[in-house]
Amino acid sequence: MTFIDTHCHLQFEAFENDAASAIDRAKKAGCEALIVVGAMLDSSEKAVAFAQIHDGLFASVGIHPHHADKVSVDDVNTLEPLAKQEKVVAIGEIGLDYHPYESNGMVDKEVQKRLLLAQFSLARRLSLPIIIHCRDAWTDLFPLVAQYIEAGGKPGVFHCWSGNKDDAQRALDLGFFISFAGNLTYSPRRSLGEGGSDSSSTIQTVAKTIPLDRILLETDSPYLAPQPIRGTRNEPAFIIHTAEFIARLRGTSVEAVAHTTTANAKRVFGLD
């Protein structure tokens, strides 16, 4: 039984002292491949470097919308030579994020959109799939993604899924896969209020009902450690917990989840 962690950040500071050990633990836990995902220019460079020196590691390069105010559209040109390197399999993570973070608030929406469109152009030029990040921005994001697909862009994956069933169907209709991280395993809150919808129960419904052959697994490590280790640093070896949770949701075996999601990941990213 093998897995592919389609989204991890082993190049981040949280793994500064033990990235090699984390990779070894992942392999022992059944991860046959890991995709190390860039979120800024420097972390994209590091992702490519990791992929080049470790067997079974691949990279994606991109600038996260959270950092859109720290770069210019011209900086996307810096990503192109990186994206042409061996073992780079996607452009990402890219997208829109309208959540007001304590660290720097919400980056101006138009600034985010300009950066996203520039990275869409890069993905089209290189014929690479994309890894999409979306938080509280579905209304603005879907029309832009649809235009990208209509212009000949390759679909890819909506990572760390947080939307509802309608959002999921729109993503599937555009040819995308949907990836689930450790937050899928969190218990829904009980007091939702009238008309409320809990994010955990919403994404659990999506994971239970969409076709298994459109699902990917990820850890988004070092973030979002799954139950029963929530609150600790996440790492790729912990992907088994999310796989087991999806199997229980769907009433199937973890072996079936592992087999199908691994085949899905190979198909999306063209992995050998």
Domain annotation for the chain: domains and CATH numbers: 3-188+196-269 (3.20.20.140)
pLDDT at 196: 37
User: pLDDT below 70 — which residues of the chain?
Assistant: 189-200
CA angle at 265 for the pair 43 and 39, rounded to the nearest 5°: 15
pLDDT at 191: 35
SS3 string of the chain?
A: CCEEEEEECCCCHHHCCCHHHHHHHHHHCCEEEEEEECCCHHHHHHHHHHHHHCCCEEEEECCCHHHHHHCCHHHHHHHHHHHCCCCEEEEEEEEEECCCECCCECCCHHHHHHHHHHHHHHHHHHCCCEEEEEECCHHHHHHHHHHHHHCCCCCCEECCCCCCHHHHHHHHHCCCEEEECHHHHCCCCCCCCCCCCCHHHHHHHHHHHCCHHHEEECCCECCCCCCCCCCCCCCHHHHHHHHHHHHHHHCCCHHHHHHHHHHHHHHHHCCC
Q: Each residue of 177-220: pLDDT tens digit?
A: 999 999 999 987 543 333 334 666 899 999 999 999 999 999 99
At 151, the amino acid letter reads A
Asked if residue 31 lies in contact with residue 3, where contact means CB atoms within 8 angstroms, the answer is yes
Query: What is d(CA 80, CA 91) in angstroms, rounded to the nearest whole number?
Result: 10
Please report the sign of the dihedral spanned by the C-alpha atoms of residue 193, residue 200, residue 249, residue 90: positive
pTM: 0.94
pLDDT at 106: 85
Encoding tokens for residue 182? 């450790």
pLDDT at 101: 79
pLDDT at 198: 60
